[in-house]
Structure 1
Amino acid sequence: MKRVYPNKDFCIGCHICELACLTAHSKSKDLILAYTVERGQNGVASSKHVHEGGATCVALSCRHCDEPSCVAACISGALQKDPESGRTIYDREKCVGCWSCLMACPFGAIARHPLEQKIVKCDLCFDRPGGPACVAACPNKALKQEER
């Protein structure tokens, strides 16, 4: 299964991946509307988060682990491993906002939704032609979607 991997040696902390993710998951698919309107009113959020520490930056998101600890920690069944695609799938309707998955993820790749008692996690832009928006938008190729 292809996953998105960050390369901290090429990340410059521009946060363009976050904006691409936000836009891809918005209703409008327009950067300005997604950022200025939908983010505040509808709680559209990026599942990609750039972490900066000194001169080092890295963009993190769900790794869709082979044996995800978030799935094991999920008390409601909102997180499941899809045996066909290999993706770790999130069903927001089942989520009870207990944050167990957030604490269990070894990569810190799951975040709280900004407006609801839910989580935000990468879905690999499964319905987007061309793959993940973050990978396509990264100007330095610090994000790659590949098999490992």
Structure 2
Amino acid sequence: MIIDKLSNAKQYYGLSKRIEKALKYLENTDLSKLEVGKYEIDGKNIYVSIAEYETKNIEQGKWEAHRKYLDIQFIIFGKEKMGYAPINEMKMKNEYNQEKDILFLEGDGNYLVANEGTFILFAPEDAHMPGIKACEQQFVKKAVVKILL
């Protein structure tokens, strides 16, 4: 897991060409003007989903992880709390859904607050619980870039 401000994205270009391309997309696109939906950056190799929602109580949160794609979650507006835990410290809640590339888990983790302009990179070994209210429920607009491994 990596958490940082998008203004520091250049520091992570060397991780991979796809991560570099995804970060440059976030840096060079006016995400506030994108409608909710899915946009291809590099076909199925890299795409972004734009979401808008109200943050929820922690009891409504779900631990998740992915195997095929790495997530870069970027807060466009608002702020939210996100859970993080090493996947090997969690228990599988159900079988991995290969078609949707998602695995739901149970367990405990740590929480961090992501403010506007913050991105968090979650690798397959990182279980995460997004969309949780930080102090109070609020509107969030977020970009989730999926990068094929």
Same-fold call, TM > 0.5?
no
Which bracket does the TM-score occupy, shorter chain normalised?
A: under 0.3
TM-score using structure 1 length: 0.28
| More strand by percentage | 2
Select the structure with the greater relative contact order (CA < 8 A; seq sep ≥ 6).
Answer: 2
